[in-house]
Amino acid sequence: MHMRKKEATILIVDDDDDILFSARISLKKYFTTILTTNDPRKITTKLSEQLDVVLLDMNYRIGFEDGKEGLYWLKHIKKISPETTVILMTAFGSVNLAVDAIKMGATDFILKPWNTEKLYSIVNAGVELARSKRKNTQLESIQSQKNTEFHKKTEHIIGDSPAMNHAVTMLEKVAPTDANILVLGENGTGKYVFAKEIHIQSERNNHPFIHVDLGSLSESLFESELFGYSKGAFTDAHKDTLGRFELAKGGTIFLDEIGNIPLHLQSKLLTVIQNRKVSRLGEATERLLDVRIICATNADIYQMVEDGDFRQDLLYRINTIELNLPPLRNRQEDILLLAEHFLKNLSQKYRKTISGMSSETIKALQEYHWPGNIRELEHIIERAVIISDHQEIEPSDLHFSNRKFDNSSPPATLNLEETEINLIKNALEKNMGNISKAAKELGLTRAALYRRLEKYNI
């Protein structure tokens, strides 16, 4: 009977070449990759591969047959690759040794000589176990990565302008409810910071907060990323994969740059939100959706609705509560507070002793237009802290991304679109077409800059 081999990497370690040979022959029929070595010291290099199962002999040197060496190597493997299943082989089956080995993380035990069927079934169970462990670890690492990222970002919400105080009051009111929230604001106004803070102040805060940047996902990836897929749903779908909605279970999903999803996916998203159910691509099973949805955009979403680019019914589903984050130039009071906050943190980070900002510096900061909002302010302060040789930050330490907005020369035009186009062109010129650098100067993500290049046909 012809059977398809299972994708798995198995390492057999034994000092007896006959055993290696026969085990290899037995397992080769069922699994794609069988590695062997007669020297346990080679295990370390083999562990650089993703090993599903190690079949490990207990005894190597003649005369030392108490299994200590096997236990030593078992510990070694578990330390380097905790997800790998270790199965011990021995000709001297002793219950005590088996117990010790299992305590130390071995999964099973097989006595020599074995029969092929038994060997196969033990190894196969080991492969399955390794896979499920790996899957869990991946999930955990996604979450812990997300969490540390947030801690860095959230810190505090700084600001004391009426607009900011209003936004914070709203945040505190709506956070504990399960209402869907739409956060509106230009780039760098703190939409992410607010979304995360809403999650932290909600009852879902011991569940995941999953951020999806729809601006950086290609259209072909939207669906599989959001909804997940089952094995075989498309050519590259090698295994069942959770979507972000499922990953966020019990917690909050933050759909950033919501204005970016194409119309056909807007319908799909609408259905998901209405029915509160998701199914993975290629799968009929529907799973209950238990997430709070926060969306954000810097686009004029109402204009998009008018132009037929965004579904009105979807907008009404996601904007139960709307939070508006005003641009920095409209909240003068916050500029100084934020600048001082960044100055303090960044001087610490770069180990500089800077006592503050000169009054000319403060004036320059307050008069600037801040097209990149808080992110731009943070960058400018960071750069100033790094280059400054002064006690206080001086205007010469400030490097505004666009001199046209410098207080010394008023902008040539006040039309927003034209201004944006000019800014982008200047940034590109200055950085010799380097998108990453230009985006950084503009206080935009690369994806956001790309969208603008497309929009304005630059």
For binding to ligand ATP (CB under 6 A), which residues are involved? 153, 157-159, 185, 187-193, 298, 338, 374-375, 378, 445, 448
- Residues facing 55 on adjacent strands: 12, 87
Least spacing, CB of residue 164 vs ligand ATP, in Å: 7
With CA atoms as reference, report the closest residue to 226 among 181, 260, 185.
Answer: 260
Judged by beta carbon, residue 204 or residue 211, the one nearer ligand ATP is 211
Least spacing, CB of residue 223 vs ligand ATP, in Å: 22
Query: Which helix (H) or strand (E) is 312 found in, with range?
Result: helix 312-318
Judged by beta carbon, residue 187 or residue 319, the one nearer ligand ATP is 187
Judged by beta carbon, residue 155 or residue 313, the one nearer ligand ATP is 155
Pull the structure tokens for residue 193.
């910071």
Least spacing, CB of residue 187 vs ligand ATP, in Å: 4
Least spacing, CB of residue 159 vs ligand ATP, in Å: 5
Judged by beta carbon, residue 126 or residue 185, the one nearer ligand ATP is 185
Judged by beta carbon, residue 170 or residue 281, the one nearer ligand ATP is 170
Parallel, antiparallel, or unpaired for β 181-185 and 292-297?
parallel
The answer to whether the CB of 225 falls within 8 A of the CB of 217 is: yes
DSSP 374-406: HHHHHHHHHHHHHH--SSEE-GGG---S-GGGS
Judged by beta carbon, residue 77 or residue 381, the one nearer ligand ATP is 381
Count Cα neighbours of 428 within 13 Å in the Cβ-side half-sphere: 14
- Residue 38 DSSP label: S
Count Cα neighbours of 124 within 13 Å in the Cβ-side half-sphere: 14
Least spacing, CB of residue 153 vs ligand ATP, in Å: 5
Distance of CA 244 to the CA centre of its chain: 10
Non-local CB neighbours of 14 within 8 Å, separated by 6+ positions: 20, 23, 36, 38, 55, 57, 89
Least spacing, CB of residue 48 vs ligand ATP, in Å: 37
Least spacing, CB of residue 69 vs ligand ATP, in Å: 53
Number of C-beta neighbours around residue 34 at 10 A: 21
Least spacing, CB of residue 225 vs ligand ATP, in Å: 17
d(CA 71, CA 384): 57
Least spacing, CB of residue 388 vs ligand ATP, in Å: 20
Judged by beta carbon, residue 159 or residue 208, the one nearer ligand ATP is 159
Pull the structure tokens for residue 211.
């951020």
Judged by beta carbon, residue 126 or residue 188, the one nearer ligand ATP is 188
Judged by beta carbon, residue 5 or residue 173, the one nearer ligand ATP is 173
Count Cα neighbours of 183 within 13 Å in the Cβ-side half-sphere: 29
With CA atoms as reference, report the closest residue to 223 among 281, 277, 139, 282.
Answer: 281
Chain residue whose CB lies nearest ligand ATP: 190
Parallel, antiparallel, or unpaired for β 85-90 and 53-57?
parallel
Q: Tell me: cis bond preceding 326? Omega within 30 of 0 counts.
A: no
Judged by beta carbon, residue 196 or residue 207, the one nearer ligand ATP is 196
Cα distances from 386 to residues 152, 348, 359, 424, in angstroms, run: 20, 11, 20, 25
Least spacing, CB of residue 321 vs ligand ATP, in Å: 17
